[in-house]
Amino acid sequence: MSGARVPVLIGVGEVRGSGTGTEPRSLVVEAARRALKGLDLPGGVDGISMTNTASWRYDDLAALLAQDLGVRPRHLFNAPVGGHWPTRLLDAAAQRIATGRSVVEIVAGCEAQASTTKAMKSGIDPVRDWGWSAAPGGPPAFDPDQLGSAAMQAAGLIAPSRVYPLYESGLRNRRGLTVEQADRESADLYAAMSTIASGNPVAWLTNPSDADTILAVTDRNRMVCEPYRLSMNAMPFVDQAAALVVTDLDTARSLGVADERIVHIWGGAGAEDDPDVLTRPGFDRSRALTAALDATLAASEITTADLDVIDVYSCFPVVPKLVVEHLDLRESSGTGPEAATETAVPSVTGGHSSFGGPLNSYSVHSLAAVYRRLSTGGTDDLALVHANGGYLTYQHCTVLSRNPAPRGFVGEPEPVRIAGTETPVAPTTGTTLTVEAATVEYGRGGTAQQAFLVARAESGTRVAAQTEFGDAASALALSVYPPGGAREVVGRRVRVDVRDSGAVAVTEL
């Protein structure tokens, strides 16, 4: 294959801040400089694409990065919110390079939530006291519609920490696992990821944690929303940045980039589910996730068995669990539910709870970690990186390799869109429902405070509701951890009565 317009990665840079006041802009500038180190670019940089920064507000961070680097790109793009954007942006940059519209591009992302949280707690003004950018500055503003549909908001399903556990409950039930088995699987997976993070030089947490510690509910590891302990949630209070340099193979060689530093971008595919989770057909799988994985493998004409490296988004355990299941990554010598706990660990980054969860930019770090894995002279050759956004809504995967793609670049940055099929309704007093998915949220003191329910009426219609804050009896009716031991609640029949607030009281039947 001719080297012309073959998109490749030739450099990555990452930065771990101290959490004591370095601006996201400064972090990403340093990451980009590290990625560009040793590269003399006579033609400059043609494009900069930035993931969304949630810890500080910028009108045009891509333009600011260009200004700080002293380059004048033709293409500037600032992505909206979504953890899927890193792989999608990489595919888009690679497509422009493959079609001759660009020669060199940068894909980057940054967060400084550790510093902004410190400022908020300490009464520090980052602009006045730390010299951060003031145009416009401040924390980003969010439109309430970004949190979810009217039906989702009425049911209280407006936070990832509440929605992802619903999928965990649905998946657990479909697979026939007990609560204890599913919890152990989550803990084993996250313990293994913490070990990987301990070897990552820019990880936020570098002390490995064992599965028993992850499972134990303590003051420092409280239950957030059943069944996820704090250690099973993404940890966004980090200061981290990463940048990637993309070009074509001929340019890479003309710049004197050594062959071992060149990683080929084969490309991938994406899919979007209906943003309203209540219109989706079920909570036991992700249609967008399976569609993106299947399309990516099909485009590259490879199978799971061909992959040497897999790095999966891991904001909550259900996401890697779904990928492990779909790609059949279980490493089991037995059969039945017990064997399902023996799984491969689909990460080289270290996971959101240990490496850190810099929100929309996590997978820029994943791409950097995979680049390092493929360019260190080992035997690994072919890698897949998966990224997730929204409530399992937006999925994009891409394939990287030390070798050229047999078919050339096959990436498709634009996702396939999947329509919803359900029409949820509000609960009515005295209705008998069958639980489809549920979770219970806890306060910082360790007390169950509120439950969130998706269920089916006898007619088959989907009903979604939340209990009143502080209604311990209703929360207990939907809890998988009642006094006496864990139990499954999916499939149980309950009665709901609507209160004046619109919340429901729940009674077990």
* pLDDT, tens digit, 9 for 90 and up, residues 430-485: 999 999 999 999 999 999 999 999 999 999 999 999 999 999 999 999 999 999 99
My answer on whether 476 and 461 are in the same domain is: yes
The residue with tokens 């299947």 is 294
Residue 61 lies in a domain: yes
CA distances to 17, 137, 138, 236 from 20, in Å: 8, 18, 17, 15
My answer on whether 296 and 221 are in the same domain is: yes
Q: Which CATH number goes with the domain that contains 81?
A: 3.40.47.10
Closest CA to 317 of 154, 160, 122, 499: 160
The rounded radius of gyration (Å) of the Cα atoms in the chain is 23
pLDDT of 222:
97
Residue 289 lies in a domain: yes
Residue 150 lies in a domain: no
pLDDT in tens, the chain (509 residues): 344 599 999 999 999 999 999 999 999 999 999 999 999 999 999 999 999 999 999 999 999 999 999 999 999 999 999 999 999 999 999 999 999 999 999 999 999 999 999 999 999 999 999 999 998 888 877 676 778 999 999 999 999 999 999 999 999 999 999 999 999 999 999 999 999 999 999 999 999 999 999 999 999 999 999 999 999 999 999 999 999 999 999 999 999 999 999 999 999 999 999 999 999 999 999 999 999 999 999 999 999 999 999 999 999 999 999 999 999 997 644 444 444 445 579 999 999 999 999 999 999 999 999 999 999 878 899 999 999 999 999 999 999 999 999 999 999 999 999 999 999 999 999 999 999 999 999 999 999 999 999 999 999 999 999 999 999 999 999 999 999 999 999 999 999 999 999 999 999 99
- Distance (Å, whole) CA 448 – CA 217: 13
My answer on whether 323 and 274 are in the same domain is: yes
Give Cβ neighbours of residue 473 (< 8 Å, ≥ 6 apart): 505
My answer on whether 312 and 257 are in the same domain is: no
Predicted TM-score of the model (pTM): 0.95
My answer on whether 208 and 90 are in the same domain is: no
- Distance (Å, whole) CA 295 – CA 389: 18
Q: Specify whether the CB–CB gap between 479 and 226 falls below 8 A.
A: yes
Instruction: Answer left, alpha or beta for residue 485, where phi above 0 means left and psi between -120 and 50 means alpha.
Output: left
Q: Specify whether the CB–CB gap between 94 and 37 falls below 8 A.
A: no
pLDDT of 4:
52
Classify burial at 430, counting beta carbons within 10 Å of its beta carbon; exposed 0-12, middle 13-18, buried 19 or more: exposed
Residue 88 lies in a domain: yes
- Per-position DSSP letters for 106-164, written without gaps between them: EEEEEEEHHHHHHHHHHT--HHHHH----SB-SSPP--GGGG--HHHHHTT--SHHHHH
Total residue count of the chain as it appears in this document? 509
Tokens of 359: 């929100």
My answer on whether 228 and 311 are in the same domain is: yes
Residue 29 lies in a domain: yes
Give Cβ neighbours of residue 224 (< 8 Å, ≥ 6 apart): 161, 230, 232, 233, 441, 442
CA quadruple 282, 288, 290, 291: dihedral, nearest 10: 130
Residue 423 lies in a domain: no
CA distances to 178, 188, 254, 344, 350 from 341, in Å: 11, 8, 49, 10, 19
Q: Verify cis geometry, omega within 30 degrees of 0, for the bond prior to 24.
A: no
Taken in order 371, 376, 377, 379, the sign of the CA dihedral is negative
Residue 499 lies in a domain: yes
Q: Specify whether the CB–CB gap between 202 and 130 falls below 8 A.
A: no
pLDDT of 340:
43
pLDDT of 368:
98
The residue with tokens 């999916």 is 490
Q: Which amino acid is at 78?
A: N
Residue 145 lies in a domain: no
My answer on whether 188 and 321 are in the same domain is: yes
Give Cβ neighbours of residue 336 (< 8 Å, ≥ 6 apart): none
My answer on whether 85 and 175 are in the same domain is: no
Closest CA to 93 of 84, 83, 105, 79: 105
Domain coverage including residue 98 = 7-130+239-261
My answer on whether 124 and 223 are in the same domain is: no
How many structural domains is the chain composed of? 3
Q: Specify whether the CB–CB gap between 66 and 123 falls below 8 A.
A: no
My answer on whether 199 and 51 are in the same domain is: no
Q: Which CATH number goes with the domain that contains 444?
A: 2.40.50.840
pLDDT of 332:
47
Q: Verify cis geometry, omega within 30 degrees of 0, for the bond prior to 73.
A: no
My answer on whether 251 and 178 are in the same domain is: no
Angle of helix 24-36 relative to helix 61-69, nearest 10 degrees, comes to 50
My answer on whether 40 and 171 are in the same domain is: no
